[in-house]
């Protein structure tokens, strides 16, 4: 019965959203409706962006280094590293900076901080309201071998940098990879 009610609610939202003339409203309204049905998730919703994540992930706020928030995946007490996903914001000096240019500069800085820095994949992505670039890479930091999945979007002279970090082991990657993809793909710049 609950599944039928959820389907009816989602169907009603899709029908009502499709009657709107603004595609942005459709996307946002649909995601809000889905979030309400998916009670195991919560959202960060402010004037600039919207993102959802599982309620089992712990949220911490501004860390003072450009990081707006960090989400920590659930861990066991014996784990030495907490998989995490963060959002960093950086003001850009001009509107002409592209995600490709931003990432080219960032890769140089990353290579100076992370030993054995290796790019696994890099491709263009598109947020609802902004072009972006995705990069996956591995390396060693503070004695740990890690893997990063990073999305960079540029809009309104601001870089939005979403980064998922986990240990670079098959078990660690498998543990939160699907959840991190869902969180990364839920991100909307308003």
pLDDT by residue (tens digit) across 40-68?
Answer: 889 999 999 999 999 999 999 876 778 99
15 belongs to a structural domain: no
Q: Which runs of consecutive H residues, i.e. helices, occur in the chain?
A: 2-18, 23-37, 99-113, 170-186
**Which pLDDT belongs to residue 172?**
87
**Which pLDDT belongs to residue 66?**
85
Number of domains in the chain: 1
- The residue among 33 and 94 whose pLDDT is bigger is 94
177 belongs to a structural domain: yes
CATH code, 153:
3.40.1000.10
pLDDT score of 93 more than 60: yes
- In whole angstroms, what is the distance from residue 184 CA to residue 147 CA? 15
50 belongs to a structural domain: no
- The residue among 105 and 29 whose pLDDT is bigger is 105
- If pLDDT is split at 50, 70 and 90, which confidence band does 20 have? very low
pLDDT score of 91 more than 80: yes
41 belongs to a structural domain: no
- The residue among 116 and 11 whose pLDDT is bigger is 116
164 belongs to a structural domain: yes
**Which pLDDT belongs to residue 49?**
92
- Domain extent, residue 164, equals 58-189
17 belongs to a structural domain: no
Q: Which contiguous run of DSSP H or E holds residue 93?
A: none
- If pLDDT is split at 50, 70 and 90, which confidence band does 77 have? confident
Of the chain, the percentage scoring pLDDT greater than 90 comes to 58
176 belongs to a structural domain: yes
């Amino acid at each position: 019965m609950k599944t039928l009610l959820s389907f009816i609610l989602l169907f009603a939202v899709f029908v009502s959203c499709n009657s709107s003339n603004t595609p942005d409203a459709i996307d946002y309204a649909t995601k809000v409706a889905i979030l309400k049905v998916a009670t195991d998730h919560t959202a960060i919703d402010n004037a600039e962006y919207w993102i959802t994540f599982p309620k089992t992930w712990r949220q911490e706020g501004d860390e003072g280094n450009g990081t707006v928030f960090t989400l920590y995946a659930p861990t066991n007490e014996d784990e030495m590293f907490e998989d995490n996903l963060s959002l960093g914001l950086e003001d850009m000096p001009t509107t002409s900076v592209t995600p490709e240019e931003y990432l080219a500069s960032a890769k140089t800085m990353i290579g100076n901080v992370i030993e054995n820095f290796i790019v696994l994949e890099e491709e263009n992505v598109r947020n609802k309201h902004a072009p972006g670039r995705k990069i996956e890479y591995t390396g060693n930091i503070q004695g740990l071998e890690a893997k990063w999945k990073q999305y960079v979007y540029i809009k309104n002279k601001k870089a939005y940098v979403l980064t998922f970090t986990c240990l670079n082991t098959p078990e660690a990657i498998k543990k939160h990879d699907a959840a991190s993809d869902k969180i990364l793909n839920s991100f909307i710049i308003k």
